[in-house]
Amino acid sequence: MVRITRNSSAAPSREETVIESEDEFETIENSELNSPRSDINEKAQQEAVEINSPQSDTNERAQQENVEINSPQSDTNERAQQRQKIVYEPYDISLSNNVLFTNARFTAISLAILESTEAIKHKLNFKYIDLQIIRVITSNQSVVNVYRKKKSNEVSGQIKFSRLFLARVCSDKDDNARLVYIMEARNQNNNIWKKNINLRDNGAITIGCLIRFPSPMPITQYMRCDIPMLVSQNPSILLKSPSKLPSIQITEDIGSNTSLGFIYNGTHLSVDYTSVVETTCSGNFCDRQRINDWLGNKGCGCYGMSINSTNLSIQHSICMTSAMKELRMNEFSSLKFSQLYLSGDFAGSCKLYMLQLNDRAVKLYEAVDECIDFINDNGGFTVIGWYKRGQITDKSLTSAKPSNNTLNHNSNDEEIHVDAGDISYHIVSVYPTNRDFLDPSKSLFDRLKRKKFDVMAIESC
């Protein structure tokens, strides 16, 4: 692992290059990577002695930076890149002149400040948090348990809602693995899509997209796993996806009832099983994810349905392999992922039987394999998701019943909980790390397009 820390008392500007030790901010000065051996030796000499000249940038850096190398060479090479802070732009270019992007008073704020008792003093009208939507939740009962953190106890309550959005923070380097909830209710976050309402139902705003959440109020409520709830009276704005998101590794020593996000770049993906399923959704907002969670018992989360789209979806058993991790997920489905091997959307008249046990089904399976292999050979996949470690009941303590004549024992029936041994993972977004595959002006886009399954070839569609 490469870790670079600064001892300077002056905090760097938010517009300056961010140099951190975490995986998501992998950095080393490009000049150090590309310099000849003489420059490396000179730098080694400078770091070995005390340099007092304030006029030399190199000498000043040698004083301020302490470099520790503890990881294997492959891990070091992965981090040995200089990364500029990501500057997000609005997806809708007509919003480029919005004050959120042009007024210097608007700056990002951390969850730690919003959770503090002094949060309201930080001019929250001029703050924002950039988020990545990773799950849309609906409920039959439309009621969720929330609580307020106080000194030594928690005050529980229930709130009615229409949708819950689980999101990963991506605007603050110290929070970018943390998750938050945005509750859409009658009197809470009901303006969230007002600035991009035209993008809400066409698939632009969906799971995996990035939004700027402006003017967040102080955090006072939490949900399960101590995930904070964000509230704002202002609408959010959809952001363009950057060319590459910084990696966030899974932390195996995560505590119980804790949820965090992860990002792996350049991974190898295998699709081990593919099946076409019929759903009750013909919309785009939910991305047809987690079908088995909502099919037949509650809404999928979409606001509107398309009369020109089918309700079919394609599920997969997938396995992601990186240098450090292997993740497997069954019943993974995503309209965005399907676009990597389909020439377009299925027509609204397309029926399930048209893609079962026939030549068209075989060609679909072959197209999936060819497209996935082609992407694997040209940069691999970026895989985004979230994970948590739950709790289990300690059976050894609850199964033993004390006898009636036992003294000084706890007679309560309260169960004893301990950390679960396994971590549960949820993959929500899979796309090529090489963004040329998504750019119609690039040759990789055309080459992939020729390998895709032709939806127009389905008879009677």
What SS3 class is residue 393? strand
Q: Is the pLDDT of residue 49 over 90?
A: no
Distance CA 199, CA 308 (A): 17
Question: Which residue did the predictor score with more confidence, 248 or 308?
Answer: 248
| Residue 266 scores a pLDDT above 50 | yes
Angle 57-64/37-48 helices, nearest 10 degrees? 60
Claim: this prediction has a pTM higher than 0.85: no
What are the pLDDT digits (tens) for 332-391?
Answer: 999 999 999 999 999 888 999 999 999 999 999 999 999 999 999 999 999 999 999 865
**Which of 42-63 are b and which e, b meaning 16 or more Cβ less than 10 Å from the residue's Cβ?**
ebeebbeeebeeeeeeebbbbb
- Average pLDDT value for the chain: 80
pLDDT band, residue 72 (cuts 50/70/90): very low
Is the pLDDT score of 77 beyond 50? no
Q: What is the pLDDT of residue 21?
A: 37
> How many other C-beta atoms are found inside a 10 Å radius of the C-beta of residue 108?
17
Confidence check: pLDDT of 401 > 80: no
Q: Mean pLDDT across the stretch 29-56?
A: 44
Q: Which is more confidently placed, 454 or 405? A: 454
pLDDT for residue 309 is more than 80: yes
147 vs 397, higher pLDDT: 147
Residue 224 contacts residue 144 (beta carbons within 8 Å):
no
Domain 93-239 part of CATH 2.40.50: yes
- Least confidently predicted of 301-310, 327-336, 433-442: 301-310
Structural domain boundaries of the chain? 2-79, 93-239, 258-387+422-457
Q: Residue 237: is its pLDDT beyond 70?
A: yes
Alpha carbon separation from 263 to 62, 158, 208 (Å, rounded) = 32, 33, 11
Residue 442 has pLDDT above 70, yes or no: yes
Return the HEC string of 323-373.
Answer: CCCEEEEEEEECHHHHCCCECCCCECCCCHHHHCCCHHHHHHHHHHHHHHH
pLDDT confidence tier of residue 161, bands split at 50, 70 and 90 = confident
Instruction: Quote the CA–CA distance of 374 and 182 in Å, as a whole number.
Output: 37
pLDDT for residue 37 = 44
Q: How confident is the model at residue 115 (pLDDT cuts 50, 70, 90)?
A: very high
Residue pLDDT, tens place only, 179-216: 999 999 888 999 999 999 989 999 999 999 999 999 99
88-107 residue pLDDT tens: 999 999 999 999 999 999 99
Those residues whose C-beta lies under 8 Å from the C-beta of residue 197, and which sit 6 or more positions away, are none
